[in-house]
Amino acid sequence: MTHGFTDTTKTAPTTTQPLECEGAMCRRGEAAGRARDLAVAGSRLCPTCRLRLTHDLRRLPRLYHECGQLLTGADRPRDRTSGGPLPGMAFNTAAADARSAILGILRSWAALVIEERGAGAPRDTAQDIAAFLLRHTDWLAAHGAAGELSDEVTHCVRRARRVIDPAPRHRAPVGGCVVPDCTGLLTAAARRDGAGSAVEIRCDSDPAHRWSGQEWLRRGARPTPEQEPAVRWMTARDIALLWGIAPGSVYRRASEDRWRRQTRNGHTYYHEQDIHASLGARA
């Protein structure tokens, strides 16, 4: 980013009429033919893009650290040896560039806040600068450059994730995080390699909120006794991903075992209790 802004006031700019959201998610939706959402009053971001911005700012320090673990040339952060790089081991240039981009973006936006708000500078670490920006997120979301901030942070997160996890994954949205008070979104991701397919359910807000596919299936199979469990409906693609079976097998079992189903927007969804009754033994 550049600091060529004319507004150098100490307080956040305000708006008087609803504006179209300038966030990265709404811009991507517009490119796909969807209308942008309206920004929150006094802001230039809609609630979804505002939440995505805070989630991504929280993730940047972790991504910075994980890219650092790849500098010795290991394919995955966990593959790095405790004894340091071996002689002749390749240097991971992509990981170094991603780290540099993360720290550069954080520093640049922190400089804007310091310059225009007169705030004290944080320590020069990814963790401290990200925390500093999170404290000023309301002001940043109302700034004339809020859309630029949203775009840069989103791009930075995607770039780092491609470095950390370059292998293609099959992904499917699961829903909101089940951990109390967490506002993250859950995604099921399956990686296919020589050992088969491993599924992981991961929260995009807190890296500690993750489950293997089998843990998630067992969790869903044990509703709390105090109340009726909420009904979850799943697509054939979701079922094939979580249970590790072919989509054709899903349709066959759904027909043979008479799974309850409903159709929404041209997609068929199956009742989770019926799925567990038929396929639970596989978990």
pLDDT tens for residues 106-121?
999 999 999 999 999 9
Query: Which tokens go with 46?
Result: 């809609």
Whole-angstrom distance, CA of residue 227 vs CA of residue 216: 19
Q: How confident is the model at residue 136 (pLDDT cuts 50, 70, 90)?
A: very high
pLDDT of 5 higher than 50: no
Q: Which one is predicted more confidently, 2 or 254? A: 254
Q: Which one is predicted more confidently, 254 or 166? A: 254
Q: Which residues make Cβ contacts (< 8 Å) with residue 159, sequence separation at least 6? A: 98, 101
pLDDT digits (tens, 9 = 90+) for 84-96: 444 445 678 888 9
Percent of the chain scored above 70 by pLDDT?
A: 74
- What integer pLDDT is reported at residue 14 of this predicted model? 47
- Shortest CA distance to 59 belongs to which of 191, 216, 203? 203
Q: Which one is predicted more confidently, 98 or 210? A: 98
Whole-angstrom distance, CA of residue 119 vs CA of residue 10: 9
With 0.75 as the threshold, say if the pTM is over it.
no
Q: How confident is the model at residue 80 (pLDDT cuts 50, 70, 90)?
A: very low
- What integer pLDDT is reported at residue 192 of this predicted model? 53
Q: Which residue has the tokens 């993730």?
A: 59
Q: Which one is predicted more confidently, 83 or 103? A: 103
pLDDT of 274 higher than 80: yes
Give the highest mean pLDDT range of 33-37, 78-82, 167-171: 33-37
- Shortest CA distance to 102 belongs to which of 69, 65, 64, 68? 64
Query: Which tokens go with 281?
Result: 């033994």
- What integer pLDDT is reported at residue 81 of this predicted model? 38
pLDDT of 16 higher than 70: no
List the end-to-end C-alpha distance of the chain, in Å, as a whole number. 49
pLDDT digits (tens, 9 = 90+) for 196-252: 456 778 887 776 777 777 677 666 544 444 444 456 777 887 777 777 777 777 888
- What integer pLDDT is reported at residue 126 of this predicted model? 95
Q: Which class for 273: exposed (0-12), middle (13-18), buried (19 or more C-beta within 10 A)?
A: middle
- Shortest CA distance to 211 belongs to which of 180, 174, 237? 174
CB 238 within 8 A of CB 250: no
Give the highest mean pLDDT range of 29-43, 140-154, 253-267: 140-154
Whole-angstrom distance, CA of residue 154 vs CA of residue 173: 18
Provide DSSP, the chain. Answer: -----S---SS----SS--B--SHHHHHHHHTTPPPPBPPTTSSS-HHHHHHHHHHHHHHHHHHHHHHHTTTS-SSGGG--TT-PPTTPPP-HHHHHHHHHHHHHHHHHHHHHHHHH-PPPPPSSHHHHHHHHHHTHHHHHHSTTHHHHHHHHHHHHHHHHHHH--S--EEEEEEE--STT---EEEEEEEEETTEEEEEEEESS-TT-EEEHHHHHHHHTS--TTSPPPP-EE-HHHHHHHHT--HHHHHHHHHHTT--EEEETTEEEEEHHHHHHHHGGG-
What angle is formed at CA 219 by the lines to CA 216 and CA 224, rounded to 5 degrees? Answer: 155
pLDDT of 259 higher than 60: yes
- What integer pLDDT is reported at residue 31 of this predicted model? 79
